Amino acid sequence: MIVGIIGSGAMGTGIAQVLATAGHKVHLLDKNAKALERAAQNIKDTLGKLSKKGKLSEIDAAEILDRLNFTEAYQDFGSCDLVLEAVVEDLEVKQNLFREVEMIVPEYCILASNTSSLSIASIAAACEKPERFIGIHFFNPAPVMPLVEIIPAVQTREGLAEEMKQQVQSWGKMPVIVKDTPGFIVNRVARPFYGEALRILEEGIAEMATIDWAMTNLGGFKMGPFTLMDFIGHDVNYRVTESVFASFFYDPRYKPSFTQKRLFEAGYYGKKSGRGFYDYREGATQSEP
Ligand code: NAI
């Protein structure tokens, strides 16, 4: 299969690695040349580490890299069987890029979005052939996390969700088919997790490092809510919260927090920008629980 992935950020890079490892030819596209360079370097480093640990032979690592093409040109998508986008969580941006993609890809090409929260029906509505559109939602980091949510829209042709489920399984992942509702399963359950943690902080009940410590050491979570939001990135996480809140007709259960909004506005996106709830810059001291 030949796959086109749009957006070489955290998700697009991870997904490209998964698909090239599964044996597919992958064109990873971004509008930003620096993001493409970073993606190429990240994948190379990750494969190098796997080889060093003896989890991947050097020949296999070289073949995976060979299957990857880093590009800024949609023309490379001319013979794609699947195009999956992982760009910024913005409906208009996603709709516009699929309009462009449909002018280039073959009739049989399946179109998919990795959106965390936007309605699949609304992205599909921008397409000339919405029946070939579906949500395929990976988790971060994509090479490590097994779960993938598959979300057919009302327009998606019968049988495509099941076909994609089998395809995703062949990539070594564990897919579930979910209805096209805001946040699907995981991001819906996660909203109150973040929201309540933020309210506990804002009400002065406990400090964030204490809340994170309690949730990991006592609650059994792999990451506390503040560490997790910093890892996801507040640019992504805040937008998802706003989108889920609006999509549930402003149900107060999903209300965004000013604390997170200010981080987002300041460009304190978390780990990726060096500052978020915590300070990741060199020499910074971390708060103790
Ligand atoms: P990111 O900010 O790391 O990467 C986005 C990339 O898309 C950037 O490299 C940017 O240059 C590129 N881009 C933006 N507009 C573009 C366009 N019009 N054409 C080509 N490239 C464009 O974002 P991230 O975290 O990878 O998220 C991407 C999508 O995946 C979002 O829809 C997000 O909701 C979803 N998602 C994010 C997860 C996370 O934990 N970060 C988890 C699962 C899904």
User: b vs e for 228-241, b when ≥16 Cβ sit within 10 Å of the residue's Cβ?
Assistant: bbbbbbbbbbbbbb
SS (H, E, C) 138-165: CCCCCCCCCEEEEEECCCCCCCHHHHHH
Give the CATH number for residue 85.
3.40.50.720
Nearest CA-CA partner of 17 in 33, 187, 34, 48? 48
State how far the Cα of 265 lies from the Cα of 151, in Å rounded to an integer: 31
Question: Domain ends where: 154, 177, 200?
Answer: 177
Q: Are 22 and 148 contained in the same domain?
A: yes
Domain containing 203: what range?
187-273
Q: Which residues line ligand 1 (CB under 6 A)?
A: 6-12, 30-32, 35, 86-89, 93, 97, 114-116, 137-140, 232-233, 236, 240
Q: Are 120 and 157 contained in the same domain?
A: yes
Q: Are 122 and 162 contained in the same domain?
A: yes
What are the pLDDT tens digits along the chain (289 aa)? Answer: 999 999 999 999 999 999 999 999 999 999 999 999 999 999 999 999 999 999 999 999 999 999 999 999 999 999 999 999 999 999 999 999 999 999 999 999 999 999 998 999 999 999 999 999 999 999 999 999 999 999 999 999 999 999 999 999 999 999 999 999 999 999 999 999 999 999 999 999 999 999 999 999 999 999 999 999 999 999 999 999 999 999 999 999 999 999 999 999 999 999 999 999 999 998 887 777 7
| Strands 2-6, 82-85: pairing kind | parallel
**Closest ligand 1 atom, CA of 138?**
43
148 in a structural domain: yes
Nearest residue (by CA) to ligand 1, atom 44, is 116
Instruction: Give the pair of three-digit tokens for residue 256.
Output: 């965004």
Q: What is the ipTM of this complex?
A: 0.98
Instruction: Give the pair of three-digit tokens for residue 112.
Output: 């998919």
Number of domains in the chain: 2
**Closest ligand 1 atom, CA of 35?**
9
Q: Are 205 and 173 contained in the same domain?
A: no
145 in a structural domain: yes
Q: Tens digits of per-residue pLDDT, 241-284?
A: 999 999 999 999 999 999 999 999 999 999 999 999 999 998 88
Q: Are 173 and 206 contained in the same domain?
A: no
Question: Domain ends where: 150, 177, 204?
Answer: 177
72 in a structural domain: yes
Nearest residue (by CA) to ligand 1, atom 43, is 139
State how far the Cα of 210 lies from the Cα of 205, in Å rounded to an integer: 10
> What 8-state DSSP symbol labels residue 224?
-
Q: If you compute the radius of gyration of the chain from its CA atoms, what whole number of angstroms results? A: 19
Cα 25 to middle of ligand 1, angstroms: 21
34 in a structural domain: yes
Q: Are 124 and 209 contained in the same domain?
A: no
Catalytic residues: 116, 137, 149, 187
State how far the Cα of 134 lies from the Cα of 112, in Å rounded to an integer: 5
For residues 112 and 136, the answer to whether their CB atoms sit within 8 Å is yes
